[in-house]
Amino acid sequence: MRLLLLLGLLLSQLSADFYIVSANERVKLAPMPSGKIDFKTLDTLPQLKSYDKELYLESVGEELNHRHANTRFATIGVTQYNYTVTEYTEKVSYTQDIYHTSYDKILPGHVLELFYHNNWYGIVLGDTKEILYSLFDDEGLDAKKAYAKVKEARVAYPDDAKLKAYEKYWQKKSALADEVAKAEEIKESYAAFIDTKSPSAKRFAAMQTKAQIEAFQTAFSSSELQPSMQELLNEVDAYLHP
């Protein structure tokens, strides 16, 4: 019983609320399951769309131990990158447990993540949708990774027309990337077949190349590479069936 009472007391002491304050805006941070940004739940993170260099974190409700409070900025990208910052914390009220934490730098377009007492909290610095639009507008992204992420973002924003269009675009780019990768594998197999001298090994290489080409023709029936694949298949068949 004493253990339960002690646990209850400890939990009651960890009841701080955290806010990001900038100019005339004060937005409460939302709890996060972890520090990993989940595109499927981006709509649940609050946003601070307008902010300035005077932005600071406000903690209300407990005696903040700033040594246990760590802040970082995380990218909303196909790969998440995290950037730590230097923090400066001071108590701003003599009658209440209110603390202000400022930072040596602010990274716009990122998620500000706070880790405190084994709990994660977060807020987007900017307009989440605009950040996503800018991300998926980058044609240099890895197509497969971009397609995977935009599909997740569509879970958060199922009715967003621009994200729907980006999903179709990256789906095509991802399929094309698969197509090109398979074609390169076939070219390597064909080159190995040509270079092989041993009759038994050469026949095995020919059969392997033939199987790869036929699989490609089935998987990518509308590919512009079909004619060139058929030419390779004809050469392999001519060897196998002289």
Query: What are the sequence ranges of the domains in the chain?
Result: 2-126, 154-240
**240 pLDDT higher than 80:** yes
Tell me the per-residue pLDDT of 121-137, one tens digit each, with 9 for 90 and over.
999 999 999 999 999 99
Question: Rounded to whole angstroms, how far apart are CA atoms 185 and 211?
Answer: 12
Average the pLDDT over 219-230 and give the result: 88
DSSP reduced 3-state for 99: strand
Of the candidates 126, 134, 139, 143, the one whose C-alpha atom is nearest the C-alpha of residue 163 is 134
Tell me the per-residue pLDDT of 164-200, one tens digit each, with 9 for 90 and over.
999 999 999 998 988 888 999 999 999 998 999 898 8
Average the pLDDT over 32-53 and give the result: 91
Average the pLDDT over 156-163 and give the result: 97
Of the candidates 36, 32, 34, 40, the one whose C-alpha atom is nearest the C-alpha of residue 149 is 40
- 152-160's contacts with Cβ under 8 Å and 24+ in sequence apart are 152/38, 152/39, 152/40, 153/39, 153/40, 153/42, 155/39, 155/40, 156/39, 156/40, 156/41, 156/42, 156/43, 156/44, 157/42, 157/43, 157/129, 157/132, 160/129
- For the whole model, what pTM was predicted? 0.78
pLDDT, position 54: 80
| Residue-level length of the chain | 242
- Three-state secondary structure readout of 40-74: HHHHHCCEECCCCCCCEEEEECCCCCHHHEEEEEE
